[in-house]
């Protein structure tokens, strides 16, 4: 009669599995499940001068041409700008995301573009935001 405890354990396991998988549907689904409108991702290409700005919410990608290939990207403290640092060529330029963030909200401030300041200096170069 060893089959009865095994059968009972199997039935209990099956009942627990099905009772634990009930959907938690209270009808409170977010209306917009897309990425936040103030998210941008800036990507540098190691082999070309291109930088790519990805907008996940709108599924768009913009291409910007930099001065040199192989750039390193660093966000500034405000989050609005990215420092595009090219150590090999002693060159720094800034990219404006067009998003101005505050503590509890953000604003779109124009379009994404290259900011005006650039810097050229001999090595060693360091960047601190």
Residue 21: the pLDDT is: 52
Structural domain includes residue 72: yes
**Alpha helices (H) along the chain:** 3-20
In angstroms, the CA 107 to CA 99 distance is: 6
Torsion-angle region of 17 (φ positive above 0: left; ψ -120 to 50: alpha; else: beta): alpha
- pLDDT at residue 99, rounded to an integer: 87
Output the pLDDT for position 4: 63
pTM: 0.67
The range of the structural domain enclosing residue 62 comes to 41-120
* pLDDT for res 1: 47
Model pLDDT, residue 27: 61
Q: What is residue 11's predicted lDDT score, i.e. its pLDDT?
A: 63
Residue 37 CB neighbour total at 10 angstroms? 14
Instruction: Note whether residue 13 is domain-resident.
Output: no
- Write down the pLDDT at residue 119: 86
Asked whether residue 51 is assigned to any structural domain, the reply reads yes
Tally the domains of the chain: 1
Residues of the chain with pLDDT under 70: 1-35, 124-126
């Amino acid at each position: 009669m060893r089959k009865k405890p095994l059968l009972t354990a199997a039935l209990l396991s099956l009942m627990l599995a099905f009772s634990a998988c009930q959907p938690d549907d209270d009808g409170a689904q977010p209306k917009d499940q897309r990425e936040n409108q103030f998210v941008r991702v800036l990507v540098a290409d190691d082999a070309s001068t291109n930088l790519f700005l990805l907008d996940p919410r709108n599924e768009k990608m913009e291409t910007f041409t930099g001065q040199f290939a192989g750039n390193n990207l660093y966000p500034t403290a405000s989050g609005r700008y990215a420092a595009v640092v090219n150590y090999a060529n002693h060159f720094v330029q800034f990219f404006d995301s067009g998003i101005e963030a505050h503590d509890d909200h953000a604003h779109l401030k124009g379009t994404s573009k290259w900011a005006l300041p650039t810097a050229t200096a001999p090595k060693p170069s360091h960047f601190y935001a």
